[in-house]
Structure 1
């Protein structure tokens, strides 16, 4: 899977098998194989897709056939996850008996809403998100078998001028141009570099307003998801539309 353009790799183990497992290939997305017809067109941009199940049999083969029928370029990983493990392939950890779980600091504003949005929309629709006091993040991550993010000295965090949202995009190999453009907006808003994108100031204002309107972090996340859905759609297909006042057209 390392040759040529980087494909999107998707874990399509049936839900019971996925939940029972405690590992997955590093940097992959998660989807239900029986729902491939529904999520085929919602995949972020990529030159190709590689699907895997436990052993490279029915689940991944059937899902690949569905994606190919939808006009995508899809393959399945021969031998599946077990062959990947046997070959020493890199793995990500996940909690046994659950989907992926993520933990960060409480009272989110920008990055800590944008990152869960990215995970829920593109990586793992069944992911669970925890918000805890800053000094408890690493301890909760260990106790709850969760992945910490947007705190110092962890994998999914700020790196120089890049923010945690950038780290997620890099880890999951998301090459969608609309996501990359959204990342610049998030970066500008999250690091007070509003000149990076004209939309950064607006995102910062909306995020700070949401934080003041909702004392419950998960309630803020629920409303913030709508904000990022809208920004992503604008980045993908709405940039050419201009809104103005034209009284002659309204008469």
Structure 2
């Protein structure tokens, strides 16, 4: 259920009208229509002072309780509270900071980190129905903290990250056989590229028709029971990045956001639609999984080569998601 404020604002003074609008926005109210605002019922008390101020200045205000008659309408109402766009805007700020760390003093970098962290907490406070975007933002925040520590606190003992992924030495993973499910899609194709380019240049891939029975002598990725697979909000590509200490590479982080979005949803990114379309086309062209992975690797190579910051006139073009 939801607490509903239905109001008519006073015509004057303008300062009061502006303050009421700002307060509604700060609370993260959903707009059902003009003059009708919602909060989850457990937060009903937050609307009472606003209703009182409206009445005090000559407006009208009623506080009612709204109930959805079925699951479809409940989902429609919850969608009014969607914060994906706000999390995306927050991530832009976090990504900018991560890209600029090398040019900043430690004092300035940590000041900006506090601002980014405070902004995320403020967003969480009004994210009444957390979803994939919220979990992804927390993961991005953890990566940003690690990047800052790697830049300014080299050699300092570090606690195990919140995701609990143990750091591994690439030297122990050379010339291995790596196994994943056959007919790979975005996450698995990205993993295959990452493994061969950053972890094990001599990697050989085994494409499993039945991942429930993988060979004993392989490094498994992106299937149930594999050594490398989803951990919390992280997709397998992100888990490999964390496992082999690649989190400070901003170009990999940009790719990871596209892979994450295409694999599990969350915050959209400009590259995602184009990447999805190209990989879908390659899947149609190549029936052989080795050939598919090799062709996809060229796509990931090209995306990785794009600078992390582009002038707006050179920003990647996007198409409608498929």
| TM-score normalised by structure 2 residue count | 0.43
Over residues 12-63 of structure 1, what are the superposed CA-to-partner deviations in whole Å (9 max), with x where a residue is unaligned?
xxxxxxxxxxxxxx62234xxxxxxxxxxxxxxxxxxxxxxxxxxxxxxxxx
CA shift for structure 1 position 201: 1.7
Q: Which has the higher helix share?
A: 2
User: What are the ranges of 5 or more consecutive residues in structure 2 without an aligned counterpart?
Assistant: 1-153, 159-166, 316-322
Name the residue aligned to 1:3.
Answer: 155
Name the residue aligned to 1:48.
Answer: none
Q: Does 1:239 find its partner at 2:289?
A: no
Tell me the C-alpha RMSD between the 2 structures: 2.6
Runs of 4+ in 1 over 4 A off after TM superposition: none
Name the residue aligned to 1:201.
Answer: 273
3-state SS in 1 of match to 2:213: helix
* Compared CA separation, residues 166 and 243, structure 1 to 2 (3 A): closer
Q: Does 1:139 find its partner at 2:174?
A: no
For 1:163 and 1:213, the matched residues in 2 are separated by 26
Q: Does 1:153 find its partner at 2:294?
A: no
* 2:175 maps to which of 99, 102, 111: 99
User: What are the ranges of 5 or more consecutive residues in structure 1 without an aligned counterpart?
Assistant: 7-25, 31-91, 245-251
Asked if the contact 1:138–1:148 (Cα under 8 Å) also holds between the matched residues in 2, the reply is no
* Compared CA separation, residues 103 and 241, structure 1 to 2 (3 A): same
Q: Does 1:221 find its partner at 2:293?
A: yes
Over residues 213-233 of structure 1, what are the superposed CA-to-partner deviations in whole Å (9 max), with x where a residue is unaligned?
111111111110010001111
For 2:157 and 2:300, the matched residues in 1 are separated by 27
3-state SS in 2 of match to 1:188: helix
Over residues 72-96 of structure 1, what are the superposed CA-to-partner deviations in whole Å (9 max), with x where a residue is unaligned?
xxxxxxxxxxxxxxxxxxxx5x6xx
CA shift for structure 1 position 139: 2.9
3-state SS in 1 of match to 2:179: strand
For 1:124 and 1:241, the matched residues in 2 are separated by 36
* 1:167 maps to which of 235, 239, 245: 239
| TM-score normalised by structure 1 residue count | 0.55
